[in-house]
Amino acid sequence: MITPKTVLPGQMLPVNVDEVPPVELGPGVHVRALPGMPGIRTWVIDIAPGTEWPDLDVHETYGEAYFVVSGEVIEGDSIHGPGTYVAFGPKTSHRPRTETGVRAFGFNYDVGV
């Protein structure tokens, strides 16, 4: 995966998300790493219709969250549409899928709370 830039104190870093080269994690699953802050990795995920995350996504030590921009994410029996923010704490796991396709902005927290 491409290592994104870190936004430094006093710096503003605008990015056109669609110009960031995607990395394929599995068939129909593409991630674009965005600039973040120390301890927070920021990304955009695009998942094609009818696709499931390639493996169980485990958050052993720190958390993760995502914000659905378009489409729907299915987590177990729950469907999360545009405007939904979903947060996972430490010691959680999930394997998202979608029937419609989805774009979401995500955040991995690599620091303790």
What lies within 8 Å, CB to CB, of 90 at 6+ separation is 59, 60, 61, 62, 63
Q: Residue 5, Cβ neighbours under 10 Å: how many?
A: 12
CB 40, CB 48: distance < 8 Å: no
> According to the model, what pLDDT value does residue 51 have?
97
Domain boundaries, the chain: 17-109
Q: Residues of the chain with pLDDT > 70: what percent?
A: 94
The strand pairing partners of 46, in sequence order, are: 30, 103
Confidence band, pLDDT 50/70/90 cuts, at residue 111: low
Instruction: Tell me the per-residue pLDDT of 63-102, one tens digit each, with 9 for 90 and over.
Output: 899 999 999 999 999 999 999 999 999 899 999 999 999 9
3: phi then psi, degrees, rounded to nearest 5: -85, 120
* Token pair in block for residue 105: 């902005």
CATH class, domain 17-109, is mainly beta
